Amino acid sequence: MSAPSLRWCLVGASDFAATSIAPAIAAQPDAIVASVVSGDRARAQALADGWDARGYDDLAKALDDPAIDVAYVSSINSRHYEHALAAINAGKHVLCEKPLALSVAHAQGLVDAAARAGVVFATNHHMRNSVPHELMRRAIAAGDIGTPVAAIVQHAVQLPAAAQRWRTTDPDAGAGVALDITVHDVDSLRFVLDDDPTTVQAYTSSGLMTQPGIDETITGTAEFGRGTHVGFLESFVTGHTATRLDILGTDGALLGTGIQSMSPVGTLTHVRGRDHTPVDLGEREDLYTVGVRRFQAAVRGEGTPAATGADGVWSVAFALAALRSARTGRRENVQHSR
């Protein structure tokens, strides 16, 4: 007998929820989009209608439904903490968009609240569901490139007009590229290296797309616990080259081209001396479909989500340390604890 379907409430009628997460939920044989919440009731119902679901403009009322098992939070960044905490306190399992919150204390508070409530709490860091990232992680762990010495991550895009809105104009909403893209890139690095960042020095710029003072491009260097040096670049205003994630080791290198993406695309090359060997990536599945499946398995007590709440705390800590460094002009410690 198949397990009963898990019923999802989408908290935030975002474009991303509509185009990526709702289809990923629908792709599961044991999942249903049951409700959608937005401050704009018509917007909520418009998304809900596509899935034979119910639209709400009252989060408490939506979460009061005992049939709801899971909440997916994709409201604006500044409301992630409030909305995720409400869902946790209502006894729902939560898959939350990045950043979990705008402070390390609030991000960790969500992890602690979920532990007390006995619910699964996860961060939607989708690149952990990517085949090349998983193969990089395995190869590094197996010693295929020796000791990792350095890493380079480049994730520059031309942010679409539909996605700009508060991301480029409202610092109180959690605007800027660091909280939008840098959080994903540092999680990718933590995943493939199986290590945590300790310090970061960063520089930001604004004014081409964003309001002055809101980071639209960030560059910097970081050091990880076992000594790997990292260079990173994220931007909202240039998307003319492929994304990259390269890991350089004492005995070889892994070059990921185009893999820092929302889609299962790009290539992976293993380099040793003059030999450049393409890595067979096999079948690749939609990253969010994989993520939802792994999250639901965790809810059913079968393993852990792709990225836990604790992983999301690290992402927040790194992004905030990078922004702090850009303000102070100094190398800053990544303050993961409160």
Task: Identify whether 136 is part of a domain.
Answer: yes
* pLDDT at residue 24 is higher than 70: yes
Question: What confidence score (pLDDT) does residue 30 get?
Answer: 96
Assess whether 140 and 119 both reside in one domain.
no
In a domain, 338, yes or no: no
153 and 281 both lie in a single domain: yes
Which candidate, 30, 94, 32, 41, places its Cα nearest to that of 63?
Answer: 94
Residue for token pair 């080791």: 249
User: Do 271 and 300 belong together in one domain?
Assistant: no
Q: What is the pLDDT of residues 247-264, one digit of tens each?
A: 999 999 999 999 999 999
Read off the pLDDT band of 163 (50, 70, 90). Answer: confident
The residue segments making up the domain with residue 118 are 6-126+289-306
Question: What amino acid is encoded at 324 in this protein?
Answer: R
On whether the CB atoms of residues 220 and 200 are closer than 8 A, the answer is yes
Q: Taking 60 as the threshold, does the pLDDT of residue 220 lie above it?
A: yes
CATH number at residue 113: 3.40.50.720
Residue at 206 is within a domain: yes
Rounded to the nearest integer, the mean pLDDT of the chain is: 97
User: Radius of gyration over alpha carbons of the chain, in Å?
Assistant: 20
- Answer yes or no: do 78 and 165 share one domain: no
CATH number where 207 lies: 3.30.360.10
Pick the closest to residue 249 from 139, 156, 92, 335 (CA basis).
Answer: 139
Reported as a pLDDT band with limits 50, 70 and 90, residue 2 is low
What is the three-class DSSP state of 18? Answer: helix
pTM, 2 dp: 0.97
Residues 108 and 171 grouped into a single domain? no
- Considering its fold, how many domains does the chain have in total? 2
Do 281 and 138 share a structural domain? Answer: yes
The string of pLDDT tens digits covering residues 261-302 is 999 999 999 999 999 999 999 999 999 999 999 999 999 999
Residues 142 and 280 in one domain: yes
Same domain, 293 and 280: no
For tokens 């006995």, name the residue.
118
Based on the domain organization, do 153 and 29 belong to the same domain? no
Report the pLDDT value the prediction gives residue 338, as an integer from 0 to 100.
59
Q: Give the integer Cα–Cα distance in Å for 211 and 166.
A: 10
For residue 236, the model assigns a pLDDT of 97
> How many CA atoms are closer than 13 Å to the CA of 248, on its beta-carbon side?
10
Residues 70, 93: contact at Cβ < 8 Å?
yes
